């Protein structure tokens, strides 16, 4: 099921080191004690088809604060992400208040998410975080730009392939990203570097509901795993693909993101396996989710 992970960061920080000649080294760099705020708009338009086709659309607007709590000598940063306000609709209804939502992430200088709330990725994905970098909630989606290993200049391209095992079943979360440093471009008074990324993530995995329930601490009154209650399906197969296109505008002098635009398309079919009675009947009906999603982030100047 597609999960709108609004509690997570909606995009994060993308930083550049200062230019040295025609090439620039793209790497995450964080200043301890600094808090950045971004205005985020997410819209999604799709359908869920399980015998009856239902709409899955809406829009969410929120302000996200990123507080840099610690920076290690190697540049790895611990960042506390807070949702300061959120509003919008889903399927024609207002979204509920978010309350005090806070997530702690550890991010490497290469842009990789190493931990979420004290748990290493991919174990953290077992808690329901489908988008560890934070902008949306499509399985396999990556919101941070994929940064090159060497300095680059406009026109340079690089490819990144990432793989994470599914922590509660069988299969892998695979991401293939083709990136290009397009050009320098003025955004207001800021001369930014423009990076374009095309990211694909094939989905082919099976989730073991007993393992997922154990990771999530979901148990019944008798202390047995929620997924082990008699009659319920024992696993869910996922098949499909998520495709993402992202453009990021980065300020190489100040080392921060000015703006990010992301567009994602998804086509995912799930089918439950096992179970008895109504549980088995649920598995006989595949559920297909098809649609698209857009996310825009803009830095709020202090």
Contacts for 281-289: CB closer than 8 Å, 24+ residues apart: 282/233, 283/233, 285/50, 285/51, 286/50, 287/1, 287/48, 287/49, 287/50, 288/48, 288/49, 288/50, 289/1, 289/2, 289/46, 289/47, 289/48, 289/49, 289/56
For the cut 70, the answer to whether the pLDDT of residue 139 exceeds it is no
What pLDDT shows up at residue 144? Answer: 66
pLDDT band at 231, cuts 50/70/90? low
What pLDDT shows up at residue 282? Answer: 63
What pLDDT shows up at residue 20? Answer: 39
> Which of residues 113 and 135 earns the better pLDDT score?
113
pLDDT band at 281, cuts 50/70/90? low
What pLDDT shows up at residue 70? Answer: 93
| 135 burial type by CB count under 10 A (0-12 exposed, 13-18 middle, 19+ buried) | buried
pLDDT band at 223, cuts 50/70/90? very low
pLDDT band at 207, cuts 50/70/90? confident
For the cut 60, the answer to whether the pLDDT of residue 244 exceeds it is yes
- The values of phi and psi at residue 214, to 5°, are -65, -40
For the cut 50, the answer to whether the pLDDT of residue 9 exceeds it is no
pLDDT band at 33, cuts 50/70/90? very high
What pLDDT shows up at residue 212? Answer: 61
Percent of the chain predicted with pLDDT > 90:
11
User: From CA 61, how far away is CA 64, in angstroms rounded?
Assistant: 10
What pLDDT shows up at residue 108? Answer: 76
For strands 77-90 and 93-94, give the pairing.
Answer: antiparallel
pLDDT band at 119, cuts 50/70/90? low
For the cut 80, the answer to whether the pLDDT of residue 279 exceeds it is no
Measuring CA to CA, which residue among 159, 299, 127 is closest to residue 118?
127
Measuring CA to CA, which residue among 117, 157, 159, 147 is closest to residue 255?
147
pTM: 0.75
Residue 15 pairs in a beta bridge with none
For the cut 60, the answer to whether the pLDDT of residue 132 exceeds it is no
- Angle value at C-alpha 226, between 222 and 231, nearest 5 degrees: 100
> Which of residues 208 and 80 earns the better pLDDT score?
80
Average pLDDT over residues 88-101: 77
> Which of residues 6 and 177 earns the better pLDDT score?
177
């Amino acid at each position: 099921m597609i999960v709108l992970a609004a509690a997570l960061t909606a995009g994060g920080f993308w930083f550049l080191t200062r230019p040295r000649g025609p090439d620039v080294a793209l790497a995450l760099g964080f200043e301890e004690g600094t808090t950045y705020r971004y205005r985020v708009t997410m819209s999604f338009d799709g359908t869920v088809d399980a015998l009856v086709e239902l709409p899955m659309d809406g829009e969410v607007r929120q302000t996200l604060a990123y507080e840099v709590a610690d920076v290690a000598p190697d540049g790895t940063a611990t960042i506390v992400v807070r949702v300061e306000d959120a509003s919008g609709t889903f399927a024609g209804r207002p979204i509920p208040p978010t309350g005090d939502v806070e997530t702690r992430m550890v991010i490497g200088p290469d842009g990789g998410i190493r931990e979420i709330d004290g748990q290493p990725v991919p174990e953290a994905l077992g808690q329901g975080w489908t988008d560890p970098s934070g902008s949306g909630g499509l399985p396999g989606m990556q919101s941070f730009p994929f940064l090159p290993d060497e300095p680059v200049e406009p026109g340079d391209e690089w490819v990144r392939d990432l793989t994470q095992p599914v922590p509660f079943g069988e299969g892998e979360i695979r991401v293939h990203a083709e990136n290009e440093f397009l050009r320098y471009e003025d955004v207001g008074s800021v001369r930014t570097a423009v990076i374009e990324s095309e990211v694909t993530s094939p989905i082919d995995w099976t989730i073991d509901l007993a393992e997922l329930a154990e990771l999530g601490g979901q148990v019944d009154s008798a202390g047995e795993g929620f997924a082990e209650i008699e009659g319920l399906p024992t696993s869910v197969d996922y098949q499909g693909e998520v495709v993402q296109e992202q453009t990021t505008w980065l300020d190489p002098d100040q080392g921060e993101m000015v703006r990010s635009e992301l567009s994602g398309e998804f086509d995912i079919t799930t089918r439950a396996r096992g179970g008895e009675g109504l549980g088995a009947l649920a598995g006989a009906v595949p559920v297909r989710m098809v649609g698209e999603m857009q996310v825009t982030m803009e830095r709020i100047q202090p």
